[in-house]
Amino acid sequence: MTEENTGSREKASALSFTAFVLSLSTAALQHLGENLPGMDSEEPCRNLELARQTIDLLEMLQKKTHGNLSEAEGKLLGNVLFDLRMRYVKAAQESGCPDSDSPADNPE
Q: What is the pLDDT of residue 45?
A: 81
**Dihedral sign, Cα of residue 35, residue 97, residue 94, residue 83:** negative
Q: Identify whether 50 is part of a domain.
A: yes
CB-based contacts of 30, cutoff 8 Å, min separation 6: 36, 39, 44
Q: Identify whether 31 is part of a domain.
A: yes
Domain count, the chain: 1
Are the beta carbons of 93 and 32 closer than 8 angstroms?
A: no
Q: What is the pLDDT of residue 13?
A: 54
Tell me the residue range of the domain where 50 lies.
Answer: 18-36+43-105
Q: What is the pLDDT of residue 34?
A: 87
Whose CA is closest to 106, among 91, 96, 88? 88
pLDDT along the chain (108 residues), means of 10: 55 78 95 76 80 98 95 96 96 74 53
Neighbours of 18 (CB within 10 A): 13
